[in-house]
Each structure stands twice: as structure tokens, then as C-alpha cells.
Structure 1
Amino acid sequence: MRGHYVHQTWPADPAVYAPPRYRRACGYDAFIPETVAGADVTLPGDVAGVVSDAEKAIFDLNRKAGPELLPLARLLLRTESIASSKVEGLQVDARQLARAEASQETGRRVGSQAAEILANIDAMQLSIERAAELAGIRPGDLLDIHRVLLERAPNSQIAGRFRSSQNWIGGNDYNPCGAAFIPPPPGEVDRLLDDLCAFVDDVALPPLVQAAIAHAQFETIHPFEDGNGRTGRALVQVVLRRRGLTPAFVPPISVVLARDKDRYLNGLTLFREDRLADWIELFAAATAEAAMLAVHYTARVSRLQDVWRQRLRDHANPRADAAAWGLIAVLPAHPIVTVSVAVAATRRTKPAVANAIEQLEAAGILTRLTESARNRAWEAEGLLDLIVGLEAGVAWQT
């Protein structure tokens, strides 16, 4: 076991509004993990091979990345963020979420669950962008990710704050007695996070091994009242970016983890039981699958863009510097687009963008979603169908 249990007593609370059995004092065992900084990790040859294959898959995903593919990079980041939210039970239809994203980008209000998922995209982007710039990761950087993640959530009052009380997973809502897993007492959190950050700053282990251990250790510490899973999966991408494995494209690992949530949660239990090789093998295999999914889906999106370009040539064939070509290039990052979003994404003038949208609509590339002259939005033909498949982690069609 990678740690030890400490017995604690939950005090009686006759005033709590709960069935009598939950008002009484009870005992529970909280788990305090071993520190991970400087850990010596030796993997069996077959597991090391799975790790190597997964890292190669990520390398292949990033190998052809260039400025023209940055919208696809945002598509993958968006997919990873949404899938990470799905692990926690936040479910919004892909089309609804795309419409909510377009609404939010133009300053309009969106539903609370959509807003929370969109905040996860922002938190993931913040964490990855900052990762490349920081000399080292500190607990305050984790607070920054968490703050963005929950700032639009119903429980936003806890955003950017480490917990000061005992939390637990499973069991009942009133006390940790009988819970499936009880993280360390709050007095241990600061020490364990300092150790985790020191581990993340080290470069002794292969990047994917480091990411797997960092994630499992973070989930074991469970330093927040809520949002631990999403923050911990953002930490995975932080490690991979800092180690240079994902300079442009992130593998949407959460897509694979969300598809078999029980297996993922069992893997975290394997880590705590000191079955480290089993956890790393599971994590690496999920990462390899995610990277291969991303390779195939980004290729399909690129082919769809080629179809759009041909349609535009057949319909209007505008000049090479026309805004319509630039808008096709950025559509993967914005499956539902408005004029203001297109202006920001293409850096072209509003009249040029309005003309481009008119050309793309006439060519059957954009479909108008609203007839109102105000806050008009268009959907990119065929793109959301591909995004739905990627977010679901389904096998691609050749």
C-alpha cells in the first residue's frame, strides 16, 4: 500500500438535520499517501513498452502540427475538457454546448451546466498555457486552475480554495463513516501538495509515467471540496506540456477514461494499493488510444475542410486573400460561429467577415441557426457530427 490509514472520530451532532444514526459519533479511517517526490519507479518490460508506445502515439499526433492546424488543437483541447466534465456527470448535448459557447463568446447568458463545462475548457487552456511559461509548479497554480474551473459553478464560493475539512467519496452525505474512500485529513493537504509539486518539477521519470503518478496522487490527496477530478485531469496535460510531449495537440485522454469510468476509478484504487505498474499500464493504454483517436479525427476534420474549400471554389471562387478562406481555416475551433466570434478568430473586419459568412452560407458550408438579425449564428456543416463521435470516443470510420 502506498500510504497508511489514520483512525479518526467524527463528532456527534444532535442538531444536524439527518436520520438519528447519522447524528451519532462514529469512527473512520482516512488514507495518507506516501510522498512521491524522488520516488524510484521500476516498471516491468511489458508495461514500459506500453508507455513507450503511448508516448510515440502522442509524438505522432504532434509531429505535423503547424500554425494552420491550431484550430484543430483547440478542438482537441475542447474535447478533452468536455470529456473530463462528463467523468463527473456533467452532460450537455454537443450541439447545445456549441450554441452555448457561441452565446457566451458574444456576452449572452447560458445555462448553469453549460457554463460550468465551458469553464472547464477555460481552466484546461489556462493550465496548459501557463505550464510552458512557469519555472516551476506551485500549489498556487493549482488554485488558479480550480478558481477558473468553478467560478461559474453553483458552488463558486469554494473556487480557488483548498479544503479545510474532511471530505470523502461514496457513503452518505452527513459523515465519512462507511465511505468508499476517505482522503487525508485537511492538516496533511499542504505538505502533500508541496511534495506533489516537487515531483511535477522533476524530470527523472518518463513524461507519461510522471503524469500518471501525479494525477493519481492528486486524486488521492483530493485537496478541494469539489472539482478534484477535473483539476487533476488538467494536471495531466500540464505535465505532458511541461515535458515537451504535447507542444501543440493534447491527447483527449478523458474521452477514453469517461467511456469506462469504473475501470478508471478502479485504476486509482490500484495506485493506492501500490499496484503502480497496473495503474500506469491502464493510464498509458488509455492515452495511446486517445492519441490515435485524435489523429484519425483531426484527419477527418481536415478532409472536411478540403470539401468545404472545393464547395467554395465551385460556388464563388473568391480571391486567395478573401476572408472566406480564413474562416474555413478557423471553423474547427468554432463549430457554431457568430459574426463577432468570426471577426476575433480571423482578425478580419466585420464587413469582410459578413461577406465571408454570406459566401459560405450560399455554398452550403454554413447553416443559419437563427433568423433574427441580432445575435445570428451559423453551424459548420458536418463538423458537429465528427465532434460528437470524437467526444464519445467511438471508433472512426475509414
Structure 2
Amino acid sequence: MLVPIAAQALQLPGAALAAADDASIEIARFDAETGSRLAPFAAILLRSESTSSSRIENLTSGAKAIALAELGATDQRNAVEIVGNVHAMQTAIDLDGHLDESLVLGMHAALMDGHHTGPGGQWRTEQVWIGGDSFGPHGATFVPPHHDRVPAAMADLMEFIRRDDIPVLTHAAIAHAQFETIHPFPDGNGRTGRALIHSILRARQLTPHVTVPIAAGLLTDVETYFSALTAFRAGDPAPIVVAMAEASFSAIANARLLLTEITEIRQGWDSLITARAEAMVWRVADLALRIPVFDAATVARELVTTPSNAARAIRPLTESGILTEFTGMRRNRMWQAREILNALDDFAARAGRRNLG
């Protein structure tokens, strides 16, 4: 049942509020630590969160396929859809202070652009349901409100999000659960709703620097996450707040392992590169952390140089084994930083397991 929440008094057990407060402290600490380190980490974490959020919807793909999809490859549908989620997450955090219906529509449009036959960035105009079969809602696990109620329900949600009397992570958790209850789009609601969490964390300045991969934490116990959404719809908001708090701890533990591994990989490269301190090869090495698969044109564009200069800077990294060329072609060659791709795949594997520690 959908209940307006814009002016609703929030009543939560002390244990749920305490869990959210503790998680918020850890999120803020992680954001501050990571924001002061190498710039590529922001892009790495955003992509990792987008991948984890997609996995909750059973959309899986390896890091290399996702990187190729970011460069325009369209042969692996799941990877293309995950890249759409990367774009939705980026839209979510580039809110420029305006968290309203137009931002949510923009997030959904970015998610659906280029890989979906249905319209993106429009409220649904038909009844939808979760579970059951495609013929009707009989046997469905959840039937969202009639589509005629979506615009008013989203306006109510945006008014709730503009409140400033609710602790940030608690605020984000409840807003997310209400969004999933409204289910305002024909498809992509889960991914858009999880992107909305990051809009709220960014707007309230809990995560001004990076995207904490909370969905990676939710992945460790998807059943509890879905059960918490069901409990919210039955009138109990505490489980979704607790689930979000516990997911944050798990996600940060996983993300710290990822960033430590990437830092060690990059430091290891220093001993393999022989070049002047100002040589472009160092910049290409840093670029490989953020874009672990690329061609010379991508390097030229990102580092604002010519393709021939980019190719010359790539060569020492290939000769030292840091990069490997994987097309085997004389033209349109592409390189990969295999160690970085392995680290990203390891992060994804950990996100699917409980008890990260």
C-alpha cells in the first residue's frame, strides 16, 4: 500500500537509528580518505557501484566487457546495460544542487539510452507488477500503485527528500524504499532507485567526493534487502534502514580492499617503467587505472595529445608487461591493463559473498 510520506513523522527504533548513524560516520570517513588519494578512484568506485547495482537485477558482465562497452562495443548486451547504469549513476551525482523529478527522469533516460526499446525518462503509463507471470498480476509478489497515481506520488517523494530533519542515511534508505514502492517506470526502477540513494548522499554532503558502493553491500544478502522493501510496504521502515547501514559497512570493507590492491598495482608499475619524470608514459599508466581498456585514440583524447604520441607512450608499458595488446591486428589495436581488470572482477566476486569481514 502506498502512503504519502512528505510530512509523515518518522518513528524508528533506537537500534536502527544508531546503526544508520554509525554507518554514516564510516561513509564520511571513507569518502574523506578516498577523496584525498589518486583521482581515478572516483571513477573506479562509480563503475563498481553501477556493476553491483546491475547484478542485483541479474545483469552480470566481466570488467573487460564493460570497459569495451564504454568504448562503444555493443556485442554483449549485459555490458551495454551496465554502462547505461554507469551513466545513470553519473547523472545522479551531477545533480548541481537540484534533486527533483527532472533529475530522476534524467537518471532513467541515461540508464535506458541506447539499449532499450521502451521510452526512457518518462513515467509509466501502464500497470506493472513484480513476480507472477507476464499475463497479469495474479500471483505477483508486489503490485505497485496505478500509473495515474505516479506523478503525485513522485511529487510527494521529492517533497520528502527536501526535508532536512532526518539523518542522511536514514533519509536515503526511506526515500529509496518509497521510490521502489511507487515503481514509477516500466523498467529500470531498481537501478534508478539505487542511483537515487547516491543523489541524496551527495546532495546532503555525506559523500562529496566518491560514490560509496552500497549496492555491493546489498549484494551480499539480496534476500534481506528485498525482505526489507516488503516490510517497508507493510508499514515498517526499520528493516530497510538497518539493511542500508549494514550494506554500507560491507561495501566499504570491500572497496578498501579494491583500492588497496589498485594502489599496490600502480606502485609496482613504478619499478617497471624507465622514463623521464615528465614523460607521457606516466600519465598513460595513471589513465589505465580509470580506463583499463583503451586504444590510441582514447589515450589521445583523454590526455589531449596526438594518436602518434599516444602510441609512443603506450609502447614502454607494453614492453614492460603492464599493458597487453589483445586484438592481434595492425590497425585499430587495443590494450588492456590485465591486473586492474582482475582487481575489478575480484571486487565483483567478493560483492556476491557474505561475511567480507
TM over 0.5: yes
- Structure 2: runs of 5 or more not aligned: none
Partner of 2:143: 182
Q: Is the 8 A contact 1:309 1:328 kept in 2?
A: no
Partner of 1:38: 7
Partner of 2:40: 71
Partner of 1:258: 219
Q: Does structure 1 residue 55 correspond to structure 2 residue 24?
A: yes
Q: Is the 8 A contact 1:323 1:348 kept in 2?
A: no
Q: Is the 8 A contact 2:258 2:347 kept in 1?
A: yes
Following superposition, the deviation at residue 109 of structure 1 comes to 4.2
CA deviation profile, 1:204-230 (whole Å, cap 9, x unmatched): 111101110111000000011111011
- So what's the TM-score if we normalise by structure 1? 0.84
Q: Secondary structure at the match of 2:178?
A: helix
- Say which of 84, 89, 100 aligns to 2:58: 89
Q: Is the 8 A contact 1:139 1:193 kept in 2?
A: yes
How many percent of aligned residue pairs carry the same amino acid?
34
Give the counterpart letter for 1:343 in structure 2: A
Partner of 1:13: none
Partner of 1:25: none
- Say which of 92, 100, 107 aligns to 1:145: 107
CA deviation profile, 1:283-307 (whole Å, cap 9, x unmatched): 1110121122212311221111100
Q: Does structure 1 residue 119 correspond to structure 2 residue 81?
A: no
Q: Does structure 1 residue 236 correspond to structure 2 residue 197?
A: yes
Number of residues of Structure 1 aligned to a counterpart in Structure 2: 355
Q: Secondary structure at the match of 1:178?
A: strand
Q: Is the 8 A contact 1:61 1:292 kept in 2?
A: no
RMSD of equivalent CA atoms: 2.0
Structure 1 residues 256 and 288: CA distance shift in structure 2, 3 A: same
Give the counterpart letter for 1:118 in structure 2: V
Give the counterpart letter for 1:77 in structure 2: L
CA deviation profile, 1:172-210 (whole Å, cap 9, x unmatched): 211112211101111211111001111112221111011
Q: Does structure 1 residue 193 correspond to structure 2 residue 154?
A: yes
Partner of 1:381: 338
Give the counterpart letter for 1:385 in structure 2: N
Q: Does structure 1 residue 322 correspond to structure 2 residue 284?
A: no
Q: Is the 8 A contact 1:57 1:292 kept in 2?
A: no
Q: Secondary structure at the match of 2:138?
A: coil
Q: Does structure 1 residue 391 correspond to structure 2 residue 345?
A: no
Q: Is the 8 A contact 1:293 1:396 kept in 2?
A: no
Following superposition, the deviation at residue 53 of structure 1 comes to 1.9
Structure 1 residues 232 and 184: CA distance shift in structure 2, 3 A: same
Partner of 2:241: 280
Partner of 2:326: 369
Q: Aligned equivalents of 1:248 and 1:44: distance in 2? A: 31
Q: Aligned equivalents of 1:196 and 1:174: distance in 2? A: 30
Give the counterpart letter for 2:256 in structure 1: V
CA deviation profile, 1:115-163 (whole Å, cap 9, x unmatched): 222111111111211x2x13x32222211111111122232x3211111
Following superposition, the deviation at residue 67 of structure 1 comes to 7.2
Give the counterpart letter for 1:76 in structure 2: L
- Say which of 165, 182, 195 aligns to 1:221: 182
Structure 1 residues 46 and 396: CA distance shift in structure 2, 3 A: closer
Partner of 2:268: 307
Q: Is the 8 A contact 2:221 2:354 kept in 1?
A: no
Single out whichever of 57-66 and 168-177 deviates more from structure 2: 57-66
Q: Is the 8 A contact 1:59 1:245 kept in 2?
A: yes
Structure 1 residues 396 and 297: CA distance shift in structure 2, 3 A: farther
Q: Aligned equivalents of 2:333 and 2:286: distance in 1? A: 20
Single out whichever of 234-243 and 382-391 deviates more from structure 2: 382-391
Q: Aligned equivalents of 2:284 and 2:251: distance in 1? A: 28
Following superposition, the deviation at residue 89 of structure 1 comes to 1.7
Q: Aligned equivalents of 2:143 and 2:58: distance in 1? A: 20
Give the counterpart letter for 1:44 in structure 2: P
Q: Aligned equivalents of 2:111 and 2:173: distance in 1? A: 21
Partner of 1:19: none
Give the counterpart letter for 2:99 in structure 1: I
Structure 1 residues 239 and 397: CA distance shift in structure 2, 3 A: closer
Q: Is the 8 A contact 2:217 2:249 kept in 1?
A: no
CA deviation profile, 1:345-379 (whole Å, cap 9, x unmatched): 33344333212210111111111111212221111
CA deviation profile, 1:233-268 (whole Å, cap 9, x unmatched): 110110011011111111111112233322211110
Q: Secondary structure at the match of 2:272?
A: helix
Following superposition, the deviation at residue 66 of structure 1 comes to 4.5
From the CA coordinates, give the structure whose radius of gyration is larger: 1
Q: Is the 8 A contact 2:34 2:41 kept in 1?
A: no
Q: Secondary structure at the match of 1:311?
A: coil
Structure 1 residues 397 and 40: CA distance shift in structure 2, 3 A: closer
